[in-house]
Structure 1
Amino acid sequence: MSQNAPRRALVVIDVQNEYFEGGGLPIEYPPVESSLPKIAQAMDAARTAGVPVVVVQHHAPKGAPVFQADAFHGQLHPEIAQRPRDHLVTKAFPSVFTGTDFADWLARHEIDTLSVTGYMTHNCDASTVFEAMHRGLNVEFLSDATGALPYENAAGRVSAEEIHRVFSVVFHSNFAAVATTDAWIAALKSGTAIEKDNVVMSNRRARGV
C-alpha cells in the first residue's frame, strides 16, 4: 500500500428506521432494499481493512414529527446497530460537523478522506459533503449506498431518482468522488484514491465541446 494512501473514515449517516417502511420519510431511490445491503457491505469491508467507521444518528427536538430519540423510528436500523463502529455521532443539524465532536475526532485520527454512505443524498449527505470539501478533506460518495426521496413544494416537483442523479453529478464535478460500493471496496483494498472530475470538463462534456 502506498504511503500516500487515503486515510479514510467510513461515515454512515442517519440509517434510522424513519427512512424505512412505516417511517415518516421512506427512501425511494435507490430503494432501501438495495442500498441498505450496500451500506452493510461497506461497513464490513471497512472493518476488514482497518478503516474506522463513524455511525451518525439524527435526533430532532421534542415534538418534531420525525427523528424522536425515544421513538422506534428515531433509532438506528438494526443492520447498522448490530455492526461494530469506532465512533457514534448524534446530531441535530444536517451536517455531521455542526454541533458535534466529528471534526475533532477526524483530526485526532488524522483522517483526510471521508467515505459517505447513508441518507439522505440531498440533505444530510450533501451538507456533510459540502462542508467536508470546504474544510480541506477529500470526500467519496457511495452512490448505491445512499438514497433520496421525492419532493413537491412551491418551487416544483422532483422525483427521488432525479434528486439522487443530479446531486451525484454535481458532487462528482467538484465536491466528492462518486463511486459504487464495489469500486470503493476495490480502492480500499488497493490503497488508492478515487478521483473526482472538475467543473470545466463536466460542463464541456455536457455541451459536447
Structure 2
Amino acid sequence: MSGLWIGLIAAGLCILAVVLYTLFISRKISTPTRGARIDQSERPNTALVVIDVQEDFTHQTGKNGFDPASRDAALADINRNLAEARASGQDIVFIKHVFRDWWAIMAMKLLAGGVGTPGREGLRLDPVLDVREAPIFEKAIGDAFSNAEFENWLARREIGRLILTGLDACQCVQLTARGGLARGYRVEVREASTLTTTPEKWAGLKGELKLAGAEMS
C-alpha cells in the first residue's frame, strides 16, 4: 500500500474519531445521570469520594496534562482529606474511569494516545494515594452514579452526604456532583483537592453547582 493511501486512511480515521467524539462521547460523557431521590432522614452518614485519580490522567502531558506542581498539591490535599476522613470514621470510596464503548475507545486511541482505555497499566490509581482497604468502583462515563453498584454501596452505608475530590473538576467531578444533587444528596466539592485542565470554565460551573445546592470548600 502506497504512502499516500496510508496517509489518507489515517486522516480518515482521525476525522471519524473527531465525529464520534462530537456526536457520542462528549454528549454521553458530559450528561449527568438521574435517579430516584433519597430520604435524607435515612442517610445520616458522609463519604469522601475520590474521582479518577489514575496514572493515565495524573501523568498525562501536553494540552491535556496537569501542571506538575498543581497536581502534586492536589494529591497531597486528597491524602490529607483521606487521613481526616479515617480519623473521623467517615466512609471513603474511590472511582476509576475506564472507557468501555467501542467508539470511545477508538476515539481515545486516535486522539489521546489511548488514555483511559482497557488493558493499560495507567488505569490504576495514582500510587501517591493512600488507598488502603477502601472500595473502588469503575465508571465508563463522567457521572459516577452511572455505576449502580456505587449507588447501592451508598445506600448500604446509609450515606446522604458526599465530599467530592479528584479530577477533572470541570468534567467528572461536577457531573458526579450533579448526579448526586439530582438524587437529593448533600454535595460538597473540596476545591483544593480537585484538578482541571480547563480552569477558565470552572468559575461558571462552580456558580451553577452552588445555585443547584452544592457546597464549596
Q: TM-score, normalised by structure 2?
A: 0.69
Aligned with residue 192 of structure 2, among 144, 164, 167: 144
- Aligned-partner residue type, residue 111 of structure 1: I
Deviations 1:113-148 (A, max 9, x none): 000000011111111100100101100000110111
Deviations 1:73-114 (A, max 9, x none): 22210022x422432101111111113301111111110100
State the Cα distance separating 1:29 from its structure 2 match. 10
Secondary structure of 2:172's counterpart equals helix
For residues 69-108 of structure 1, the aligned pairs below 5 Å read: 69-80=118-129, 82-108=130-156
- Aligned-partner residue type, residue 108 of structure 1: R
Find the counterpart in structure 2 of residue 155 from structure 1. Answer: none
CA distance in 2: counterparts of 1:6 and 1:168, whole angstroms = 26
Aligned with residue 32 of structure 1, among 71, 75, 100: 71
Higher helix share: 2
Find the counterpart in structure 1 of residue 181 from structure 2. Answer: 133
Q: TM-score, normalised by structure 1?
A: 0.71
Q: 1:67 to 1:85 in 2, by over 3 A?
A: same
Secondary structure of 2:117's counterpart equals coil
CA distance in 1: counterparts of 2:44 and 2:67, whole angstroms = 32
Find the counterpart in structure 2 of residue 15 from structure 1. Answer: 53
CA distance in 1: counterparts of 2:127 and 2:60, whole angstroms = 15
CA contact (8 A) 2:58 2:71 kept: yes
Q: How many residues align?
A: 166
**Structure 1 position 166 matched with structure 2 position 204:** yes
Find the counterpart in structure 2 of residue 59 from structure 1. Answer: 98
State the Cα distance separating 1:68 from its structure 2 match. 2.5
Q: 1:116 to 1:85 in 2, by over 3 A?
A: farther
State the Cα distance separating 1:162 from its structure 2 match. 1.5
- Aligned-partner residue type, residue 11 of structure 1: V
State the Cα distance separating 1:23 from its structure 2 match. 5.0
CA RMSD of aligned residues (A): 2.5
- Structure 2, unmatched stretches of 5+, are 1-40, 109-113
State the Cα distance separating 1:28 from its structure 2 match. 4.5
State the Cα distance separating 1:39 from its structure 2 match. 0.8
CA distance in 2: counterparts of 1:22 and 1:148, whole angstroms = 12
- Aligned-residue identity in percent: 25
Aligned with residue 111 of structure 1, among 159, 163, 172: 159
CA distance in 2: counterparts of 1:48 and 1:165, whole angstroms = 32
The structure that has the greater radius of gyration is: 2
